Amino acid sequence: MDYTRLFQFDGDRVLVIGAGSGIGREAALALGAHGATVICADRDSTTAEETAAMIGGSATSTVLDVLDPDAVRAAADEYSDIAALVFTAATNVRKRIADYSMEEFDRVVNLNLRGSFSLIQAFAPKMAANGGGSIIGFASIRAFTVEPGQGAYAATKAGLVQLARTAAAEFGPANVRVNVIAPGVVETPLTAQIKNSPEWYNAYAQKGALGRWSKPEELAGAVVYLASKASSYVTGSVLMVDGGWTAIDGRFDPPNA
């Protein structure tokens, strides 16, 4: 085993969906830095192109709306030779259950869960036919720990965890690995509402062991790991990248402890 090659992609093609900003952009940049040929996909063509330009070299961009099943199937046909698929697209409506409209519920479920199902359904068989690959989705700490106002979002993220585990079981014999990353609080556009409230922002920062929020680039290493040869025996797993949020019980330090 040449361990110096564990994180090298040697030109393998990888598709990053949601590459136009935030965690998706940083994941694309990191994969490109390790030698992958990155296809930057996003619903926004301009931001996808910007990410591809930042990577340079053989990186390309494409427009993809994960809510369009025909477009997803077409992308799976076009990129049937990819070694890894990463998808980060998600949305949230922060309201208590009693205040939710069904339109809001459908919006969250359709993007977060239905879109994820559509991607796995389209790409996993292609990877299986091609000898294997790695599929990486993004769940959340909300798949495991919740608070008021997170009902629909938390349900979709818990659903994604079980979807990934099932896909790992179904496609594992064909050497297709399926895993999810569960971030804690990350400074992205999705969390702008919280960031704009100092009290809320600081309360979240103190929930984790590290006492701070994460930056999108701090999720990139987990993506590279799960896409690489270094994780060849990892599937059906949830990789927590939450700064210790789910490991500790708040930030109170008992006296004399």
Q: Is 256 inside a domain boundary?
A: no
Q: Tell me, what's the pLDDT at 257?
A: 60
Catalytic entry in 153, 201, 204, 233? 153
CATH label of the domain that carries residue 83: 3.40.50.720
Residue recorded with tokens 């556009």: 189
Q: Rounded mean pLDDT of 48-77?
A: 98
Could you give the CA distance from residue 145 to residue 228 in angstroms, rounded to a whole number?
A: 29
Q: Is 197 inside a domain boundary?
A: no
Residues 6+ apart with CB under 8 A from 232: 177
- Nearest alpha carbon to residue 33 among 233, 221, 241: 221
Residue 187 identity:
E
Q: Is 246 inside a domain boundary?
A: no
Q: Is 108 inside a domain boundary?
A: yes
Confidence of residue 194 (pLDDT cuts 50, 70, 90): confident
Q: How many domains does the chain have?
A: 1
Q: Is 255 inside a domain boundary?
A: no
Are 139 and 153 a contacting pair, CB within 8 Å? no
Provide the 10 A C-beta neighbour count for residue 158: 17
Q: Tell me, what's the pLDDT at 155?
A: 98
Residue 114 identity:
R
Q: What is the pLDDT of residues 138-165, one digit of tens each?
A: 999 999 999 999 999 999 999 999 999 9
Q: Is 111 inside a domain boundary?
A: yes
What domain range is 234 assigned to?
3-188+217-241
Encode 52-85 in three state secondary structure.
HHHHCCCCEEEECCCCCHHHHHHHHHHCCCCCEE
Residue recorded with tokens 């804690």: 184
Mean pLDDT of the residues in the chain: 95
Residue 238 identity:
V
Could you give the CA distance from residue 33 to residue 8 in angstroms, rounded to a whole number?
A: 9
Q: What is the pLDDT of residues 4-53, one digit of tens each?
A: 999 999 999 999 999 999 999 999 999 999 999 999 999 999 999 999 99
CA atoms within 13 A on the CB side of 246: 16
Q: What is the pLDDT of residues 105-144, one digit of tens each?
A: 999 999 999 999 999 999 999 999 999 999 999 999 999 9
Catalytic annotation present for 153: yes
